[in-house]
Amino acid sequence: MKNIYSRMFSLIALCFGMSAISLGQGFSNVGYAGANFLKIPVEPVGAALGNSLVASAKGVTGLYWNPGAIAFTEGTEIVLSRVNWLSDTRVSFFGIAQKVGPGVLGLSVTALTMDDMEITTETSPNGTGTYFSSGSYAIGLSCGVKIIDRFSFGGTVKYIYEYIWETHASTYAFDFGSVYVTNFYNMRIGMRLANFGAEAIFVGSPIDNKPDAVAQSGISYSYDPRLERVSRESPLPQIFNVGISIDPVEMEGHKVTITAAVNDPNDNNSQLEFGAQYAWQDMMFLRAGYKSGFDEQNFSLGLGVKANVGGIDSRLDFAYAAFGRLGGTSFLSLRVGF
């Protein structure tokens, strides 16, 4: 048993060490991926813990953080979440996980929305009086199962759709995740690979007809900068996460949980994420987190309340995440379990 723990700690130390080294190195693919709404944390527990929930997610929240975690769902769990994101954009999330036989099935819907924007042109820089809309959506079907009592594995297949003005793009993607629980202070090890799929290709009349319009204007197609404003291909923001969670303090009525994770995206440097939670009587929760390797993001705070109402386990969670010069974002969710 000691040999197993030694190997696990060595693997985790290696992952964190390699990521720490990469934090100081340049990265040539910054801004490379599209569909970046998939990287927005959709619920407050993980957001308050610095996004380091890959190992400690449990139940319906695993639909976003780690599909392997939904295997620990007992009965039915539902979560509704709202995120006030940057620049007056909003993210809404709905998730449901249901235990079915030896496994758990889940459904999730994520929607990034914003107000309509007024169209401007060279001759009407203050607006033309007409508006266009934009948004992004993802619908996921998940399945999680316990391979043994302490090890679970899960996967998600999701449909992704984005639109702006008269153009749109869609594709499919997959998430895979696992969680292993040990006897050492309830230490949990989690891994996740998210958004593994094909590129999304934007289509629509503004893109499809642009070469013809340029040709009619007499401007050389090869050197027209207007054709570079919209790219047809949009690769997905693939992410690999590995993390740990441990409960160093657990006594009657009091529990402290420490989390840490490595976030390795395909369009940026690796990032380190840390969080801590204090739970009183498994009813009230205080949380804090810190992120390293992000341009503007750093600390986050949160709190939660849990109660049983009429035989229904209900919990309300809130989080605030600082965004440097961009201000901050807030998260609110309601989760119920039957």
Q: Are strands 131-132 and 312-322 parallel, antiparallel or unpaired?
A: unpaired
**How much is the pLDDT for 33?**
77
Beta strands in the chain (DSSP E): 76-84, 90-100, 103-113, 117-118, 131-132, 134-148, 151-164, 167-181, 188-197, 200-201, 203-204, 233-234, 239-251, 254-265, 271-280, 284-292, 299-309, 312-322, 328-337
* CB-based contact 275:48 (threshold 8 Å): yes
Task: Determine which of 20-29, 91-100, 159-168 has the lowest per-residue pLDDT on average.
Answer: 20-29
**What confidence tens digit (pLDDT) does each residue in 91-143 have?**
999 999 999 999 999 999 999 999 888 888 778 888 888 888 899 999 999 99
Does the pLDDT of residue 265 top 70, yes or no?
yes
* Sequence-distant (≥ 6) Cβ neighbours of residue 331 within 8 angstroms: 41, 43, 44, 47, 48, 81, 82, 83, 84, 302, 317, 318, 319, 320, 321
**Nearest CA-CA partner of 140 in 213, 58, 64:** 64
**How much is the pLDDT for 227?**
47
**How much is the pLDDT for 314?**
94
**Nearest CA-CA partner of 255 in 277, 231, 223:** 277
* CB-based contact 272:262 (threshold 8 Å): yes
Identity of residue 33:
A
* CB-based contact 109:96 (threshold 8 Å): no
85 vs 4, more confident: 85
Does the pLDDT of residue 147 top 90, yes or no?
yes
What is the number of residues in the chain?
338
* Sequence-distant (≥ 6) Cβ neighbours of residue 277 within 8 angstroms: 48, 49, 256, 257, 259, 285, 286, 287
What's the rounded Cα separation, in Å, for the pair 97 and 65?
A: 14
Does the pLDDT of residue 315 top 90, yes or no?
yes
What's the rounded Cα separation, in Å, for the pair 131 and 119?
A: 5
23 vs 119, more confident: 119
CA angle 232, 236, 237 (to 5 degrees): 135
57: its two tokens: 């997610």
What's the rounded Cα separation, in Å, for the pair 38 and 136?
A: 9
Furthest C-alpha separation in the chain: 78
**How much is the pLDDT for 93?**
98
**What confidence tens digit (pLDDT) does each residue in 230-251 have?**
556 778 999 999 999 999 999 9
What's the rounded Cα separation, in Å, for the pair 163 and 98?
A: 31
For the chain, the average pLDDT equals: 85
**How much is the pLDDT for 304?**
97
What mean pLDDT is predicted for residues 82-94?
A: 94
The helix/strand/coil state of 231 is: coil
Identity of residue 208:
D
247: its two tokens: 């409960």
Percent of the chain exceeding pLDDT 90 equals 59
**Nearest CA-CA partner of 244 in 315, 190, 184, 166:** 190
**How much is the pLDDT for 3?**
52
Domain ranges of the chain: 2-119+131-199+235-270
